Amino acid sequence: MAIRFSEPVNAIKHSDTGDILKLIAQPDMISFAGGLPAEESFPADEIKKATEIVLNGDAGKALQYGPSLGYEPLRESIAKRMNRIVKTQYTKDNILITCGSQQGLDMLCRLFCNKGDTVIVEKPSYLGAITAFNLTQVNFVEIPGDGKGMIISELRKALETHDVRLIYIVTDFQNPTGITWTRERRAEFMQVVDEFEVPVIEDNPYGELRYEGEYLPSLTTFDTKNLVCSLGTFSKTFAPGFRLGWIAANPLFIEKLDLLKQNMDLSTAPFSQRVCETWLENFDFDAHVKSIIKLYKSRRDAMLKAIDEFFPKEVTHTYPEGGLFIWCTLPEQLKSRDILKQCIERKVAFVPGEAFFTSEGNTNFFRLNYSCNDEATIRDGIKRIADVLKENLK
Amino acid sequence: MAIRFSEPVNAIKHSDTGDILKLIAQPDMISFAGGLPAEESFPADEIKKATEIVLNGDAGKALQYGPSLGYEPLRESIAKRMNRIVKTQYTKDNILITCGSQQGLDMLCRLFCNKGDTVIVEKPSYLGAITAFNLTQVNFVEIPGDGKGMIISELRKALETHDVRLIYIVTDFQNPTGITWTRERRAEFMQVVDEFEVPVIEDNPYGELRYEGEYLPSLTTFDTKNLVCSLGTFSKTFAPGFRLGWIAANPLFIEKLDLLKQNMDLSTAPFSQRVCETWLENFDFDAHVKSIIKLYKSRRDAMLKAIDEFFPKEVTHTYPEGGLFIWCTLPEQLKSRDILKQCIERKVAFVPGEAFFTSEGNTNFFRLNYSCNDEATIRDGIKRIADVLKENLK
């Protein structure tokens, strides 16, 4: 067949991540590979009540087409909550509802970038963002961090050297590293960004899931030029099965995104949006988030404790104050893919780190997830990984 | 601000359609402008039961992330139904679930086209497809029809002259014209298409809503080279508020679309998919479609009757065997935009035809929708338009 696919589709590399995930999907495998929220955290009974309320109310409107910006009361609720938690000053006019954060990534790249444009990402960065941006065939410049956020001198150098169209970062409990940017680093970052006038995606899927310390302000609070586009999601605090997320940005961007959304899929499902908003209105979101924090905190603690107890001291790791992930660094001579193969034989799995880099190499890292296994399983799994690590370090 | 948007976003033209729609949204306006399904056609009570079943069952899975291809039982149901109604020979491996048909349009254009590629469309064609394809900055070649489908000699000429990457058509009760391609024309079309080996989007949002005559087979039944991608939707037969549609195509295309979908939004909402599938399983879809047909048929009949009674004979119109639209042609000296302005003063509205063309001109057409007004309102509205037409033809 003479069928020709588009350039971006032809350029999608076959990664072996899919193959790894299939291997991992065995029923007796302890998997720290995914990033799924725990199913026991979903408020299923409350959601049932919320859907009843929606369908007993104005069902016709809930089941009809809706505005591409999203359901207005939900946009308002999101703005208010962001203002309270991350100190923004948004109204509904700053919010557009998306089919999860992943769509936000695709939309923002389509909004700002053409083929060949340069995008700055953290080193390492979120895999789903890298693959989304690849659909626009952009080039990446990776900026390393120092545990407190991106190294600002490196950022400045990159902005002076490249014509940068977009910067993508995760400030809270980053995926994959679990690292959180300090308040000072946020301020310094925005000073440089505002100087160069480059739009920024502040991706914040886990921000509410903070297990210690206080919430830090959004980058927008340091932004004098309205450059920051924040991505949020209900996937970690409500349920991913609704595919509900949002973009928060200045109304000029939102206006353009509205046109994009209209042409991409008309709108996010009005029914799902109303169920979510009805849930927010009728139940205690804060209490629900607290219960998730309680669940995940004890899992994080169990994993950190087991790592400290069992892992050889040559393997270092990050300390996440929230979110879902711990990032481990192996001595350079070890390759995390080789370690994974041996781990899979012991029925335990994680994600090798290479996938989170846009540059080659970076073979001695791996990511651990702790949100969807109980404490005993976490301890058991970490011990199994530790055994493999010790054998390889003999 | 020095912000630069992407080329496709900069190229989105400000159309005055949005302004028109705002004008039309007055409460006392009789609007034949939209294309919405009637809210009274939504099976709200059944949907309530279906959501209960889903949430009383495996709620954890329904609320969790799901596969990017879609929920397997729903993909199977769609394949089976298509095989029965439009004589395809699909399995679940031919089906990917989308956030409505609009996303299918965006995805298929992204699958096959690069900037500057040529896409063949009918003259006129569906506005939402034209705007979706514009995001990839393609060039259009319009092929006129003769009331039985595209004129094949014109199609062949275009395929010989241009390097065509994609063909987009609506074979049943087209939007905007209401015209249906004959069986013979479908066969002739696919013979030429298979000769040139160009992928085809067969968009079929209204196919099930046939008010007379028998269902005609999908283009795939004439396709020897697996080129046809069919778009389907639950927006007209279930409820648009769920944003559920699908792409049916050969597994090679589906495999690539799966990768695209993963990067675009991970998947369509698993919760919505399960509610829809549970509804299909527990209730009588055929009987539901019949009830919608009954509702819309009498509205179509009322509109055709009123047109024949009131419109001046210089204004011609199509006869839709199904779907939602009638297409009217004015004498060339009249401009439908001028007529619309006068109609809005009489509190009645329609969509001027220009928006459905990719070429300039085409000012003497307009589209009427009959699905969301009752018979008396339809009669009243058509009479008001007729009065304006008569005044302009004096």
pLDDT digits (tens), chain A, 394 positions: 578 999 999 988 766 666 776 777 788 999 999 889 999 999 999 999 999 999 999 999 999 999 999 999 999 999 999 999 999 999 999 999 999 999 999 999 999 999 999 999 999 999 999 999 999 999 999 999 999 999 999 999 999 999 999 999 999 999 999 999 999 999 999 999 999 999 999 999 999 999 999 999 999 999 999 999 999 999 999 999 999 999 999 999 999 999 999 999 999 999 999 999 999 999 999 999 999 999 999 999 999 999 999 999 999 999 999 999 999 999 999 999 999 999 999 999 999 999 999 999 999 999 999 999 999 999 999 999 999 999 999 8
Give me Rg for the CA atoms of chain B: 21
What is the number of CB-based contacts under 8 A between chain A and chain B? 224
Set out the domains of chain A in order of their start, with CATH numbers: 7-43+287-393 (3.90.1150.10), 44-282 (3.40.640.10)
Helices (H) and strands (E) in chain B, counts: 14, 13
List alpha helices for chain A, DSSP H: 7-11, 17-24, 44-56, 59-63, 72-86, 100-112, 127-134, 152-161, 183-196, 251-265, 270-282, 285-310, 336-345, 375-393
Query: Among residues of chain B, what percentage have pLDDT more than 90?
Result: 94
Q: What pLDDT is stored for residue A27 in this prediction? A: 83
Top-confidence residue, A1 or B33? B33
Query: Among A47, A60, A264, whose Cβ lies nearest the Cβ of B103?
Result: A264
Residue A167 C-alpha, separation from nearest chain B C-alpha, in angstroms: 13
How many whole angstroms separate alpha carbon A71 and alpha carbon B227?
38
* Per-state percent for chain B, helix, strand, coil, to nearest 5: 50, 15, 35
* b/e B195-204 (16+ beta carbons within 10 angstroms → b): eeebbbbbbb
Hey, is the C-beta of A25 within 8 angstroms of any chain B C-beta?
no
Element (H, E) at A122: strand A118-123
- Cα distances (angstroms) measured from residue A393 to each of A19, A144, A311, A363, B95: 27, 27, 11, 16, 48
d(CA B100, CA B304): 30
Question: Which residue of B7, B64, B237 to mutate against A (max A Cβ within 10 Å)?
Answer: B64
Contact residues, A window 282-321, toward B, CB-based 8 Å cutoff: none
Gap between the Cα atoms of A63 and B292, Å rounded: 15
> How many residues are given for chain A?
394
How sure is the predictor about B24, in pLDDT bands with cuts at 50, 70 and 90? confident
Q: Let me know the angle formed at the C-alpha of B82 by B77 and B85, rounded to the nearest 5 degrees.
A: 125
For A260, how many CA atoms within 13 A lie in the half-sphere containing its CB?
Answer: 27
3-state DSSP assignment of residue B332 = coil
Q: Say yes or no for a CB contact (<8 Å) between A256 and B113.
A: no
Do the Cβ atoms of B265 and A102 come within 8 Å? yes
Q: B158, B196 in Cβ contact below 8 A? A: no
CA atoms of B94 and B79, how far apart (whole Å):
8
Mutant choice from A243, A244, A252 vs B, greatest count of B C-beta within 10 A: A243
Asked if residue B14 has pLDDT above 70, the reply is no
β-bridge mates for residue A97, sequence order: A246
Q: Which residues pair with B145 in a beta bridge?
A: B150
Query: Left (φ > 0), alpha (ψ -120 to 50) or beta: where does B205 sit?
Result: alpha
Closest residue in B to A372 (Cα–Cα): B64
Answer whether B99 sits within 8 Å of A48, measured CB to CB: no
Eight-class DSSP state of B391: H
Residue of A40, A64, A112 best to disrupt the B interface, most CBs of B under 10 A:
A64
The encoded tokens of residue A36 equal 């799924």
Residues whose CB is less than 8 angstroms from the CB of residue A379 and which lie 6 or more positions away in sequence, other chains included: A302, A305, A306
The answer to whether B64 contacts A39, with C-beta atoms less than 8 Å apart, is yes
Q: Is B46 helix (H, G, I), strand (E, B) or coil?
A: helix
Q: What residues are paired with B232 via a beta bridge?
A: B246
Lookup result for tokens 């995760």: A170
So what's the pLDDT on residue B34?
Answer: 87
pLDDT greater at residue B11 or residue B202: B202
Structure tokens at A213: 């310390």
Q: Which of A384, A373, A369 is nearest to A320 (CA)?
A: A369
Cα of first residue to Cα of last residue in chain A, in angstroms, is 54
Determine which helix (DSSP H) or strand (DSSP E) holds B48, and give its type and residue range: helix B44-56
Tokens of A107: 């939309």
- In A191-220, the residues whose Cβ lies within 8 Å of chain B are 197, 199
Is the CB of A134 inside 8 Å of chain B's CB atoms?
yes
pLDDT of residue A34: 87
Q: Are B262 and B67 in contact (CB under 8 A)?
A: no
Neighbours of B114 (CB within 10 A): 19
The model's pTM is 0.97
From A192, A188, A170, A190, select the one nearest A179 (Cα to Cα). Answer: A170
Q: What is the per-residue pLDDT for B158?
A: 98
pLDDT, residue B77, reads 98
